[in-house]
Amino acid sequence: MATTSKETAKRLDPETLAASALAIADVEGLEAVTIRRLANQHDVTPMALYRHFSDKNDLLAAIGDRLLADIDLPEPNDDRWDVQLRAVLTAFVDALRPHPKAAGLTLFRILVAEPGLAMAERTMELLTAGGFSVDDAAEVGRQSLCSLITLVTTEPGAGEDTDPVAREDALRMKRAALGALSPRRYPLITAAADTLICPTSTDRYYSLGIDLVVAGIRGVLAERLRAK
């Protein structure tokens, strides 16, 4: 017996729909995510989806929640506070890395969705254990997470065409543009043209970015403690 649209709609749930919307965003960007597009993909009417999402903004919020749900928050242990903090921040980045086009949606859901709240609480716990006041921990934690979201959304090459040939052509043109600069005026830029356009190692790109955030946090704390 053929499945009716009504029966299909009953089987749909917000998590399934959010995962489908995320898949669209990963390939085509957030502008391609619409209620109508998602309804067509699941062979239902747009009205069937309005049972779950009031509008596109509500759908985008669900995508943000879906990303945060992928955070594999490490358990507390006996390591130093900054070592544990790096592990927490790494778990956050690991959840976002596969989805650079949608990662920015998590910014507004961290203090709403349960996985985001758990990560924020754990981050502040570690920062206060290191010596920050609660208010300073809130500000440092917020700015650190914002920096890591930006690290993902601005990963060099991540926004290029998903077609491998077209992507490589686009990167080649950008390398050529930097390579055409005067090496006498811009010796370091021309020497590092390949790395500036696309990291030689994506893992190194993210590891270095997280290290910079944690080192910055330690440096700010040291300055605060010296000023007391």
**Chain segment 96-138, per-residue pLDDT in tens:** 999 999 999 999 999 999 999 999 999 999 999 999 999 999 9
147 lies in some domain? yes
Is there a single domain that holds both residue 123 and residue 217?
yes
Q: How confident is the model at residue 54 (pLDDT cuts 50, 70, 90)?
A: very high
73 lies in some domain? no
Is there a single domain that holds both residue 36 and residue 96?
no
Q: How confident is the model at residue 216 (pLDDT cuts 50, 70, 90)?
A: very high
Residues in the chain: 228
Strands (E), 127-192: none
Kindly give the interhelix angle for 56-68 and 14-28, rounded to the nearest 10 degrees.
90
Phi-psi region of 43 (alpha: psi -120 to 50; beta: other; left: phi over 0): left
Average pLDDT value for residue range 155-179 = 76
Number of domains in the chain: 3
Q: Which of 42, 68, 94 is the last residue of a domain?
A: 68
Is there a single domain that holds both residue 36 and residue 142?
no
Is there a single domain that holds both residue 208 and residue 144?
yes
Is there a single domain that holds both residue 16 and residue 47?
yes
Is there a single domain that holds both residue 122 and residue 174?
no
Is there a single domain that holds both residue 193 and residue 214?
no
Is there a single domain that holds both residue 50 and residue 9?
yes
Is there a single domain that holds both residue 124 and residue 217?
yes
Is the confidence at residue 88, as pLDDT, over 90?
Answer: yes
Burial group, residue 218, by CB count within 10 angstroms (0-12, 13-18, 19+): middle
CA-nearest of 227, 226, 228, 217 to 129 is 217
Is there a single domain that holds both residue 88 and residue 62?
no
Is there a single domain that holds both residue 104 and residue 170?
no
Is the confidence at residue 225, as pLDDT, over 60?
Answer: yes
Which CATH number belongs to the domain containing residue 21 in this structure? 1.10.10.60
Is there a single domain that holds both residue 217 and residue 109?
yes
Q: What angle do CA 37, 111, 51 make, to 5 degrees?
A: 35
75 lies in some domain? no
Helix/strand/coil percentages in the chain, nearest 5: 70, 0, 30
Structural domain containing residue 120: 81-155+199-227
Q: Which of 68, 99, 115 is the last residue of a domain?
A: 68
The answer to pTM > 0.75 is yes
Q: Which of 68, 101, 123 is the last residue of a domain?
A: 68
Average pLDDT value for residue range 21-33 = 95
